[in-house]
Each structure stands twice: as C-alpha cells, then as structure tokens.
Structure 1
C-alpha cells in the first residue's frame, strides 16, 4: 500500500535497511508516534534527548536535513505529537510493519513513502482519507488518487448470470453493503465476461461476515461466495534476469542485458545500443523480463499450484473417508447363509461362502435368458418393419391396379 509524501524542507537520507519495523517498540502506541518514528528513521535522526539532532552525513552534505543550531530549539518531531491535525487519528489502532522510500521519480526536496501494514484493518484506516491529517510536521503531502484494494479485502461471488443487468446488480450490493467500494465482473484471458464477480471492501468487517456465512443475498437470490486469491506475481531479478529473487539477493557480479542476455560491466551503456533480442530463459525473440515468455508463464503456473497445494491438500483430508472395522462392523449371520467378512487390509467386503457360486450361476443364467429375449425382440422388430414395408408396397400396387381398371373401363 503506497502513500506519497511530498516534503518541502530537504532531500531524504537513504536508509540502508529498506524495511524498518516499528511495532517492536512498546513505546509506539498511536498513529502519531508511528509517523514520528517513520519520519525520524527517514531523516536518520536520533532524538533520545530533546533538541539533539544526530546525522551521519557531513554538515555541508546536500542530503543532510537543515536544522536550527539552537540547543533549546524544539524539534519538528516533537511538534508532530502536538499537531492538532494528527490527533484526529490517534485513536485508530494502526499497525505498521515497515516502510520503503524512494526519490527517483520525485522533485527536489521530495520523496515517495511506501507503508507496509500488518493487517487489513490497518489498511482500511489508511484507505479512508478522513483518517489522514492535513499536514505532517507542517509539511504537505499527497496520496495516490486511486488506491488498489488488496486481496485480503476482496471476495468472489460465484455463478452470477451473464444476462442480468449488472448496473442494478452493483447498485443493489452497494445499497445492502455500504463498505463495498468496487463490484467487478471478472473476465477470462480472451477478455470475455465470466460468471464470477469480485467485490472489494474498504474495511474487513462486512467481508469477513459474508465469508463466514458463505452466502450473499442480492435481488432475492442467494449466491455462494469464497475468498479472492490474487494471481501469483513472478519476481524477475533486474541484475541477472533470473526468476524468483530480487536484485539485492542476486549473487551475480555483472549485470545481464535484458535484450540480448549477455553480461556486461556497464549494462546501461550497452543497452542503449543493443538491438539483438534473445530471451535467456527460452531463447525466444523477446526481452528476458517479458511476462509473456513461455518459461515465465510456466514458472507462474508452478508457483500458483504450490500456493494452492495446502488448500487442496486440506480439502482432500476433509473429503477422505477412512473405513475401519469399528465404524463398519461385519453383519451377523443369524438368518442368512451368505455372510461377508471385512478384510482389514482393504477397503472392500469379500465373500467367503460356497453359496455365492450358485447365486453367480443363477445370475449368469438370467443374463443369458435376457440376451435371448433381446435377440427375439430384435427379430420381431425386423419382421414388423418388413410387414410395414409390404403393406406400403401393396397399397401402391392396389392404387396402380385401380387406376388401370378405370382406364380400361373408359
């Protein structure tokens, strides 16, 4: 989940750890304190003592945050706690697990801040713009205009007819469930509508309630629902173009050209003049990071199967019927001659008496008799067809004779 904050005071120091955990600190109990901790980490400032600012950058470094030289000056981080705009969201139990920052696509004195939350409820807090302060430490910021809702706040409605009025269907759902933000008709790979509808919620309460019930009621009809599983995303290393890891995890020393697949010390200089396309995965005529590569598609399919395997295995365990002698005891043989004893080493019942052979013989005799009856019936059907044909021919001949007689009489 991303939140963009545009600062007006300075560039932001690069943090070597891309994801810092704030929740382990027991002193962080409010949203404002979390913002303070994030801001402090981004600026690389330690505020163990009031008015003390420490920074590893040199005094004249352009990435160093400017500050007042006065020792009695109150830091902006402390002002943040007393900001009246921030107090409006201090009651929300927001749980952040870390952040990432970037300034590549930002203007001077700005940075992008990507926040990671621990649960869907924390996302719902950040999703509502009313929970955000007007400013942070008197600094302006902007949020993305359209936020994507994660799978943890989505579900799927099954077997929704393609002939319904989808606009009425959407309005009915949003009227009955106010927390539904988007109603999306799913499509298959050919971009044709299918009978699955995705619901995206702004908070987890109603979604969990519907999932626990397993049903949703729309236009006096009941539909089955299930959780939404997002498609597996394939990681492609920007250094070696390998699958399944990031650049920071890559052990290759040289960079691989995404066009020709060769390794170079200065790949940026080479890429600008490279014209040969050859994928390192399938040797095809496309870039190595192309998501349409057959090898990448197969990797995604295998990854999806791996992610689904725990659920499939659990379903098999639920549907597995284990036969044992305690649940299925053998029948008593008080009033019948043929009994069946259960074999504990197999899942079927086997006969063990001589009378079974006579029953099988009688069944065979009955089957043979039925076959003979079928043969006789086939013969009767053929005779009947022959008789019908004879009657038709006779009728035609009679008409011809009658016509001939009339002509002779004339």
Structure 2
C-alpha cells in the first residue's frame, strides 16, 4: 500500500492517482530517543537513510521537544530491518549512540459522531438527535454550527465535547485503562498499548501487553537457544545483543555521580531562571513607573491646556464687548467728522459760486 509500483496505472481507461498513507502502523515504527538539538533534522535524515534502507517517513515528535533534546519517529517498510534495529537497541548519529525503542500507541477511544459520547459508534447510538460537538444543540436545527459558541455538553467547560480536555472523557479513558490492566490476558498477542504518564500506577508500567504471550515468547527463545546448541555441547549459548551483560564497574557510584551532576545542572538552571525572572520583574516595574510618570505629565499638560483655554475664553468674553463698543463709537465719530467735512466743502463751493456770480454781475454793470 505504500509503494506506487503496487498500484495499476489505469483501470478501465481511468488513470489512477493513488494517495499513499502519511504514516505506517505502529508495528512498523521505531523511536530515536533524546537526540541532541545541535544535530539538525536534515542531518538526522541523511545519516539514518544511509544506515536504514527502508525508511518511509521521519518526523520530530512535538511533545518530546525541550531545550536539550527531542525524539524522532521513523517509519520502516521492512519488517526485518525493524526487528534488527530494535534488537540492537542503539543507532549511531554524529558520533553518538542513541537509544532505539518501539513505538507504542496509546489506547484509542471510540467516540460516537451522533451524541459525542465515548464507548460506542453512531450505528449503535440511542440518541434521537445529532448533537453539535461545539454547542451541544441539535446539529440539524438550521443554525450555523461552524461558528457557534463552544461549550461542552458533558462538563459545561469551554472546549469541544470530543476534546481530551473534557474531564468526563478523561475519566472514561482512565476507567478504560484500568479495565485493560485488569484483563491483560484478553489483549491480542501482537499488540502493546502505551500508558500515558498521568494514568500510570506506582509500578510505573509504560505499556500494556498480554503477560502469557510474553512468557511464551521467552520460553520459545530459550528453546531455540537450546536447539541451536545441541550439536556442540561445549559452545556457550548465544546472547541477544540487547541483553545487559554483567560488569565489574560499580554502576551505583556512576549513577550517583550522574544524578548529582544532573541535580547540579538543574539547580544552576533554576538559579539562572530565578535571576532572569527577577531581572524581568525589575524591568517591568521600571517600565510601569515610567509609563505612570508619562501619564501624569500628559494629564498635567491636558489640565494646563484646559485652564489656559478657560482663561483665554474668560478674557476674550470680558474684553470683547468694550472693544466692540469702542469700535462702534469710533466709527460713528468718523462718520460724523466725514459728514461735517462734506457739508463744509459744499458750503465752500456754494460760497465760491456766489462770489463768481457777484463778480459777473459787477462786470456786466460796468460794461453798461
């Protein structure tokens, strides 16, 4: 299903364009754990593909990223290569050996698409109406349920009804894992389930599997070892490469030293983090004080401007009427003076004309 060569190019004169799966099943997936962040993802892809020839896809696991390392998921097409890598337990990248582990999916929950409740499917649902997973109302009531208000109808919190944030679904998931732990013998022989950290008990088990199948596999491996060594009784039995060998080194002291070193590193990081927080708080307080002072100055400026405007308005309102009255008086005086001037000018003109008339009469009399 993952190879284009396994699909016909056309069928009944119809050209086929197969859509390949994005990821492979969990039993074809391995995890490279705690890869240093100094190694880029492109370098990881190049080095892994040089060592593993059946790589289908690779991706960084988002939930495992921190400031030092992360996990990388690798999907392998070859089952033999998958077993070989898991048996080795290690993979060299950039001169370092990194742990290789199998990918264990967490138990999936069946959620009904009709009532948004876990534990059954739509065809077995007893609900009369289809409920919207956003608002919890009837999905076929004619309203726009793509933009409706989000409110879980299980717990009335602000999330969708099918979200794992829902306490009701989380409780159902916890009960399901508890039932699986009590009935491990009912699990299929080739299936293992990953147990999320918040649902683990005091034993710290990371996976669920059928213990009887595991014991059967161990017995089969021992029997194979005995059968392989029957021909030569003097040879030592072969050991798997992933089995731990006894060592004369005092592992306890090494672990104590590493734990102490890690504790010191974490303590130093904590101190640096606290110093950084104090520094940020100080800068924040300084900025807030500056902003408060700025607002005070702005308020003072607004107050001063308002007072100045009031003073100007008061002054203008007090001065403007007398000024208008003075201007009116001046204009009236100017008009009066102008009228007097015109009347005097007319009198002069009349007097001049009268003189001319008298002179003309005198001259006429003399001529007679």
Which has the larger Rg?
2
Fold in common (TM above 0.5): no
TM range, normalised to the smaller chain?
0.3 to 0.5
Q: TM-score under structure 1 normalisation? A: 0.39
